[in-house]
Structure 1
Amino acid sequence: MTDLPALVPAVLALCHKAGDAICHHYHAPGDVAVESKHDDSPLTRADLDSHVILRDGLKELLPQVPVLSEESSAEHKARRHDWPLYWLVDPLDGTKEFVAGTGEFTVNVALIDGHRPVLGVLYQPLPRLAYVGIPGFGAHCYRFSGNGEGDGEWEAESIHTRPLQAGAPLAILASRRHRGERLQAALAWLEQAWGTLERHNSGSALKFCDLAQGDGDFYPRYSPCCEWDVAAGQALVEAAGGAVLGLDGKALEYNRRDSLLSLPFLAIADPGNALWQRYLDSSL
């Protein structure tokens, strides 16, 4: 296995370049041109430009390692089961938020080895913040200071998930756009089991970032999403001391199924707390 920490500067540079391309479209005058993909999800020029930058840059960085992106062709995606090691990329996570102008979108890059994410980078283009997690090595938030033309430096700060505090509200991180009966049932169970809840809504993978830096306790996801939406966030949360589990209580794995849809998951800041085993046992 390659030296994972040594990859971080190059991946940060690629995410920054992709983020600048996204911001160019975001700040352009006029409405964003949007197409609909076969699953009715939106596609913009920003998605495609970011895809090309990341695909080509990652292939140059590690020529023998395939790149699987949300915007890869169906033929390319079909070959993924032969890959023990590959990059899993969402060039623009939160396209609906991008189109709506909320600013809540990210670039997600994960390295998958043996079905597990071993490196995850989530980059927020507008504030130029990158969250990097390497399980076993720790998690960091990187802030880019520069003139916007590529010159500048990354300033790193170690981040960690937080323990549950008895008597304090339980901070639930949830999607701005996804609700549903299962989520409502989960919130009702947690309110009864714990007490006061605080719900914080946001788009894209920002919930993983908040969890990893100690700004939340629990992110349940029951609505559909894809593996490229989750993998980088899982690496980040695990590296920061948390866990991302399927409903069977086991860590999520990737490239195991015919579908690229992710299984429902629970992202937990303090996985050692007994509350979560009780929650899993409740079969919600």
Structure 2
Amino acid sequence: MTDLHDLIPPLLALCHRAGQAICRHYHAPGDVAVESKQDDSPLTRADLDSHVILREGLQALAGGLPVLSEESSPETKARRHDWPRFWLVDPLDGTKEFVAGTGEFTVNVALIDQHRPVLGVLYQPLAQLAYVGIPRTGAWRYGLAGDGRWQGEPIHTRALRQGQPLAVLASRRHRGERLRNALAWLEQAWGPLERHNSGSALKFCHLAEGEGDFYPRYSPCCEWDVAAGQALVEGAGGAVLGLDGEPLQYNRRDTLLSAPFLAIGAPQHTLWQRYQAALSE
């Protein structure tokens, strides 16, 4: 088996190439043409160009493992249950943000082994920043220096401190009763809350680098939206759990929709044990 650390440099280069293709469309006036997929989610030329770059590049890594991307064909998606180890990819996470021009979009790449993410990369094309996580090993933030080399530094989730407001990471596009109930429970149990809104998988990045405490997701999303973020958060010392309190697993169900989840920066704190108990009542 390839050492996971050996995969980081080629993954950074590959995500950067995909990001360059995305940015060419983002910065070209009138070039953000939008189609609708069967589920009414948007699809752009940037999604497709990034998909092709990542699919071809990933197939050349780690012994030619299969690639499951949001933009893969229905036939490829139907074969996925036979894959114990594969790449799970969202070539452009945050297409709505891309179309709206907010800049809050990422490239997500995860290596799945026996239903668990063992390596994840989240790349921000506009900032040329990459976040890499290997569960139980570590997490790093990489920036592209002027000489073309990647410079990395370790990142960690932060501890909860009494008297400090609880920073909740959420999407400005997703609200709903379950989120409101969660925030109300936390405010009563903990005290003051701060809500930080951002698009796409950036919330995982913020959690992993200690800029938030909690990212709950109850609205629908897909497994390729979550897997790389889970690897990152776990590598940084946090957890991404289903509502049953167990780490999320992938490629086990007929659907590619992710189960609702709670991404937690300091999972050992008693607050989260109490919250999990409240969910089961």
TM range (shorter): over 0.9
Q: Which runs of structure 2 are paired with 1:1-284 in the superposition (5 Å)?
A: 1-30=1-30, 32-146=32-146, 152-283=148-279
Q: 2:130 is aligned with what amino acid?
A: A
The question of whether the paired residues in 1 share the 8 Å contact of 2:240 and 2:247 is answered with yes
TM-score under structure 1 length normalisation: 0.97
| Residues 185-228 of structure 1 deviation map (CA, whole Å, 9 limit, x = unaligned) | 00000000000000000000000000000000000000000000
In 2, the alpha carbon distance for the partners of 1:115 and 1:197 equals 34
Distance 1:201 1:241 in 2: 22
Quick one: which amino acid aligns to residue 13 of structure 1? A
Q: 1:63-93 CA deviation, whole Å, 9 max, x = no partner?
A: 4310000000011001000000000000000
Count of aligned residue pairs for this structure pair: 280
More moved, 134-143 vs 37-46:
134-143
* Residue deviations 1:133-162 (CA, integer Å, cap 9, x gap): 01122000000123xxxx601110100000
Q: Distance in 2 between matches of 1:242 and 1:53?
A: 31
Q: Is the 8 A contact 2:58 2:64 kept in 1?
A: no
SS at match of 1:141: strand
Ranges of 4+ aligned residues in structure 1 off by more than 3 Å:
none
Give the whole-Å Cα distance in 1 for the aligned partners of 2:152 and 2:68.
28
What is the CA-CA distance between 1:60 and the residue it aligns to? 1.2
Report the alpha carbon displacement of residue 29 of structure 1 after superposing the two structures with TM: 1.1
The TM-score normalised by the length of structure 2 is 0.98
**1:160 partner SS:** coil
Find the aligned partners of 2:15 and 2:31 in 1 and give their Cα distance.
24
Report the CA distance between 1:31 and its aligned residue: 5.3
Paired residue type of 1:157: E
Instruction: Report if aligned partners of 2:25, 2:31 keep a CA contact under 8 Å in 1.
Output: no
Distance in 2, Cα, partners of 1:243 & 1:200: 19
Which whole-Å CA distance do the structure 1 matches of 2:174 and 2:80 have between them? 29
Sequence identity of aligned pairs in percent? 78
Cα deviation, residue 164, structure 1? 0.3
Equivalent residue of 2:267, what SS? coil
SS in structure 1 of the partner of residue 68 of structure 2: strand
Matching residue's letter, 2:173: R
Task: Give the whole-Å Cα distance in 1 for the aligned partners of 2:189 and 2:240.
Answer: 21
The letter for the 1-side match of 2:129 is: L
Code of the aligned partner of 2:206: D
Supply the RMSD in Å over aligned alpha carbons: 0.9
Q: Secondary structure at the match of 2:145?
A: strand
